[in-house]
Amino acid sequence: MTRNPYSYLQVINPDSEKDLDADRGSKEYFREIRTVYDEFLKKGWLVGGDDACFVIYRQTSPTHSFTGIVALLDLPKCEEGALLTHELTLERRENLFSDYLECVGFHAEPILCARPTNHPGEAELDRCISEVVNTREADCDFSTTDCIRHSVWHVNPEISPALTEALGPLNKLYLADGHHRLASSIKLRHRHPNEPGVDRILAMILPAKEMSILGYHRQINSFAGNLEELIVKINGLESVIKIEEISKEESRVQKQGCIDLLNDGKSFRIFIEEEDSGLRTDAGWLSENILQKLLGISDPRNDPKLKYIPGNSDTDLTESSKEKIIFALHPTPIDQIIAVSDAGKTLPPKSTWVEPKLRSGLFIYEFGMHPHPTKSQ
């Protein structure tokens, strides 16, 4: 199969065209990524500059449109509470990604941040964004083979200061996607406190109301117990109202406060009592009461019996439940994610599948870990 020589996949997969002795995930492999990246720079296939700028980015699919701002966030301010998180991270992955950033010297995947509804200055910020996208053509506008359109407007803050001023009152963001990228960037900053540029992270800031949040389902791969006995145990849990068998068609519509249990083509709906604080999520209840207490899955991040199925999958969950158990979950509302973050609490791993998913290499932020070659070098 012929490979596209211009694709960013060539950068992050340097072994696609070269025989490498380095193992994937090793520092030697990461250095090869930087080597191929430098080759792209020398050939002029990546375009950029040293001037500070904002980017307004719109991603349009057949079903959704997302418009946000791509910018750099100040990591010390993020640590001080300007960016709130809702997910725990693994130290092993933090260290791996920190090593990666240290070796390559750039960010190429923005973290995705939500700005809450009715935040200070919201109306003026929305007006500034609308004025840019409605009064001039995009500086870059193209579609990819997955039927996604990408539109980019560059905004120079020195020439057009209105966007900078509109962003001023926005004092709090919520991390929607990229918890390990944030944690590893913070770790790198502490590892190299005097290195220029490591105190920033590339981010896309999107109105929370525009985000598309889907459920993240749980699949138990090796259930050796008796399904009827498991249902009896679940029905005996204190917060369970009832369990009833439902049709395959009904199981395709998940409801908040309900969890569907699928096995061998059958579907059962678990109805859970409401909880006063508003902080409990269906994913959290499932993890604590069924996965841990009844199925013995105490480490949901690493247990090989547990598989996660993203909500955008076209998998027929009912048909896929042959010889296994699937728990189908309703999406966690963005307001609930914000409430959990404000309370300083966390959600179980993979509680949400958040869109848009940003394309790697579309936006790149270089920091001072490496000299940056030019076409003339």
Q: How far apart are CA 269 and CA 258, in angstroms?
A: 6
357 contacts: CB under 8 Å, gap ≥ 6: 177
H or E stretch including 203? strand 200-207
pTM for this model (two decimals):
0.84
pLDDT for res 2: 58
- CATH of region 214-353: 3.30.1760
Predicted local confidence at residue 110, as pLDDT: 96
Contacts of 323 (CB under 8 A, 6+ apart): 264
Q: What is the pLDDT of residue 374?
A: 44
Task: Report angle CA 258, 264, 269 to the nearest 5 degrees.
Answer: 15
Please give the Cα distance from 254 to 28 (Å, whole number): 46
Which helix (H) or strand (E) is 135 found in, with range? Answer: helix 122-135
> What burial letters (b/e) apply to 118-157, b meaning 16+ CB within 10 Å?
ebebbebbeebbeebeeeeebeeeeeeeeebebbbbbbeb
Nearest CA to 131 out of 101, 165, 102 is that of 165
- Residue 370: what pLDDT? 63
Same fold, 47-211+356-366 and 214-353: no
Q: Quick one: pLDDT at residue 250?
A: 79
Phi, psi angles (nearest 5°) of residue 104: -95, -35
Domain ranges of the chain: 47-211+356-366, 214-353
Architecture of domain 47-211+356-366: Alpha-Beta Complex (3.90)
- How high is the mean pLDDT in each 10-residue block of the chain (377 residues)? 78 85 92 94 85 90 94 96 90 92 95 95 96 95 93 91 93 94 96 93 96 88 84 93 88 82 90 84 91 89 85 74 84 87 86 87 86 46
Angle in degrees, CA 98, 99, 102, rounded to 5: 85
Burial group, residue 2, by CB count within 10 angstroms (0-12, 13-18, 19+): exposed
